[in-house]
Amino acid sequence: MKRGEGAPSPSLRVVDVMALTVGIVLGAGIFKAPSLVAAQSASGEAMLLTWLLGGVASLVGALCYAELASAWPHPGGDYHYLYRALGKGPAFLFAWARLTVIPTGSIALLAFVFGDYATQLFPLGPYSSPLYATALVVGLTAVNIAGLRQGTRTQNLLTALEVLGVGAVIIVGLLFTPALGPAEAAPAPAASSGTAWGLAMVFVLLTYGGWNEVAYLSSEVRGSRRTIAWSLLASIGLVTALYLLVNVAYLRGLGLAGMADSEAVAADLMQRAVGSGGALVLSVLIAISALTSANATVLTGARTHYAFGRDSVLFNGLGRWHAKANGPSRALLVQGAITLALVGLGTLTRQGFETMVEYTAPVFWLFFLLTGVSLMVLRVREPAAPRPFRVPLYPLTPLLFIGICAYVLYSSLAFTGLGALAGLAVLGTGGVLLAVETARTRRATTAASPKARSSPRLQRTKEAT
C-alpha cells in the first residue's frame, strides 16, 4: 500500500447514518410532489393513503437492503451485491451508471433546485441558477475531500436544520393556518382510475427515493452488523411520519383542490398562514433541503466509484482511499467533474431539473430491480453466509420489492422524454467499455503467473467484508 493510502474503517455512528439517510430522502421533493399527487387523488384520504403506501413500499425495499448490507458490508453497496450474485457484467454496468448517471445526475438535479431557490434570495444575473449549482458541486466536493469527519458534521447540521424546517411547515399548517371555507375545502375533481393512482405512486416513490444510499456506508459503521439494518429502518419510519404530517398540514391549510392547483404548495401554505414573509422563509428551507440531500449523495456516491476502481482495469485510478481524509478523494474529484458536465447539459437545455429527472429515473429503477433479484440469488448461492438480519416473509418480501421496481421502471419510461433516452444511451456505452475491460483483463490474466490467475479480482474487494 502506498504512503497516504488506506481503506474504509468503522468510524460512523448511528446518528451519522440516520442523518445521511434522512438527509437524502427528506429532500426538496416534498415541497413539489404533494401538489402533483393531490391532482391524481379522488379525496384527501386517498392522497394520504398513497403517501402511507409509499412509505410501506420503501420499508419493503429497506428490509431487503438491510439483509444485504448486514451480511456483506462493503463500500460498493449494490455494486458488490450484483458482483457476487450476477457476475462482473451487471456489476460493471451498474458502476458505470453510478459514475455517469445515478448519483451524478441526482447531485446535478439537487444543485439546480438549490440554484433556483437561492436565485430568489440573491439573483446573480441571467445564469444565476447554473452559477449557484456549480458553486454547490464544487463546495460540497471540497468539503468531502477534506475528510469524512467534515462531511458528516456538515451533514448532521444540515439534516437538523432540514427536519426543523419541515417541522415548522407542519406546525404552521396545523396550528396557525385559518380554517378553510366550504368552497375551499371541496375536493378536487380527479380521476379515480388505476392510471391516475399509479401516476400518483410514481411521484410518491420518487420523493421517497435515496434511502438505499446507506448501503455504501455499511463497511464504515461502528458496532454490530445489525446496526446498519436498524438505522435504515428507523430512518424510513421517521421520514414516513414526517411526509404524512406535512401532507396533513397541506390538506388542512389549502384543501385538496388548493393543493392540486398549486405550483408551489408549501409556499402557498406559508403565504396563507404568515403572509409574504413566508415565501422568503420557504425559499431558504428548500435551498437547505437541496443542499442537505446533495451533500449526502456526494459522500455516498463516491464509495461505489472507489469499490469499482478496486476491481477495474480501466478505472483502477478510482480505487484509492486517502488515509488522512478517510475517504476516496480521487473518486470524489471525478464524480464532481462529471456532475459539473451534467450541470452544463442542464444549462444548455434550459430545463435543468426536468432533464436530470428524466436522465436518472429509468437507469435507477433498472438496477434497483436487479439488486432485489440479487438478494434471492444469494439466498440460493450462499445459504451458509452469516446473515445478522434476515428479511421477513421471504420470498414474498423481495418478490414484492421486485414487482414495485418493475412497475416504476415501466412508468419512468412511459412518462418521460428525451432525457430518459440520453440516460439509457450513456448506459449503453458502458457495454462497449465492458468489452474493452474484459479483453484487457483476459490479457492481463494470460500474462500473469499461475498463482495470480488462480485468484479472481473480486478477492481484492473482500477486505471490507
Per-residue pLDDT of 5-41, as tens digits, reads 555 556 677 777 777 778 778 776 787 778 888 888 8
Are 226 and 389 a contacting pair, CB within 8 Å? Answer: yes
C-alpha closest to that of 24 among 235, 233, 228: 235
The average pLDDT across 395-417 equals 85
156 located within any domain: yes
Cα separation, 147 vs 442, in Å, equals 36
pLDDT at 356 over 80: no
The average pLDDT across 44-53 equals 91
What integer pLDDT is reported at residue 375 of this predicted model? 96
How many domains does the structure of the chain reveal? 1
End-to-end CA distance of the chain: 19
Is residue 195 very low, low, confident or very high in pLDDT (cuts 50, 70, 90)?
low
Residue 265 vs residue 250, higher pLDDT: 250
Residue partners of 451: CB distance under 8 A and separation at least 6? none
pLDDT at 453 over 60: no
The average pLDDT across 72-92 equals 88
pLDDT at 224 over 50: yes
The average pLDDT across 238-255 equals 90
Give the range among 20-34, 216-230, 331-345 with minimum mean pLDDT.
216-230
Cα separation, 437 vs 439, in Å, equals 5
pLDDT at 465 over 50: no
Is residue 397 very low, low, confident or very high in pLDDT (cuts 50, 70, 90)?
very high
In the block, residue with C-alpha cell 383542490? 257
Q: Look at phi and psi of residue 164 and say left if phi exceeds 0, alpha if psi is from -120 to 50, else beta.
A: alpha
Distance from CA of residue 42 to its chain's centroid? 29
What integer pLDDT is reported at residue 79 of this predicted model? 87
What integer pLDDT is reported at residue 382 of this predicted model? 93
CB atoms within 10 A of CB 279: 16
67 located within any domain: yes
Are 228 and 218 a contacting pair, CB within 8 Å? Answer: yes
183 located within any domain: yes
The CATH number of the domain where 205 resides is what? 1.20.1740.10
Are 51 and 204 a contacting pair, CB within 8 Å? Answer: yes
pLDDT at 48 over 90: yes
What integer pLDDT is reported at residue 252 of this predicted model? 87
What integer pLDDT is reported at residue 458 of this predicted model? 43
What integer pLDDT is reported at residue 240 of this predicted model? 93
pLDDT at 52 over 90: yes
Give the range among 47-56, 334-343, 383-392, 407-416 with minimum mean pLDDT.
407-416
Cα separation, 11 vs 327, in Å, equals 11
What integer pLDDT is reported at residue 243 of this predicted model? 92
Cis, bond preceding 395 (omega within 30 deg of 0): yes
Is residue 43 very low, low, confident or very high in pLDDT (cuts 50, 70, 90)?
confident
pLDDT at 310 over 70: yes
Residue 29 vs residue 441, higher pLDDT: 441
Are 79 and 103 a contacting pair, CB within 8 Å? Answer: no
430 located within any domain: yes
Question: For the packed helices 88-100 and 352-381, what is the interaxial angle rounded to 10 degrees?
Answer: 160
The average pLDDT across 257-264 equals 80
Cα separation, 188 vs 254, in Å, equals 11
SS3 222: coil
Are 310 and 460 a contacting pair, CB within 8 Å? Answer: yes
Predicted TM-score (pTM) of this structure: 0.77
Cα separation, 405 vs 424, in Å, equals 17
pLDDT at 63 over 60: yes
Q: At 85, which amino acid appears?
A: A
463 located within any domain: no
459 located within any domain: no
CB atoms within 10 A of CB 417: 11
pLDDT at 464 over 50: no
- Give the percent of the chain with pLDDT over 90: 20
Our separate counts of H helices and E strands in the chain read: 17, 0
Give the range among 110-119, 158-167, 216-225 with minimum mean pLDDT.
216-225
Give the range among 210-224, 355-369, 376-390 with minimum mean pLDDT.
210-224
pLDDT at 372 over 90: yes
371 located within any domain: yes
Is residue 460 very low, low, confident or very high in pLDDT (cuts 50, 70, 90)?
very low
221: phi then psi, degrees, rounded to nearest 5: -95, 135
213 located within any domain: yes
What integer pLDDT is reported at residue 60 of this predicted model? 92
Give the range among 131-135, 189-193, 207-211, 292-296 with minimum mean pLDDT.
189-193
- Mean pLDDT of all residues in the chain? 80
Range of the domain at 356: 14-381+390-441
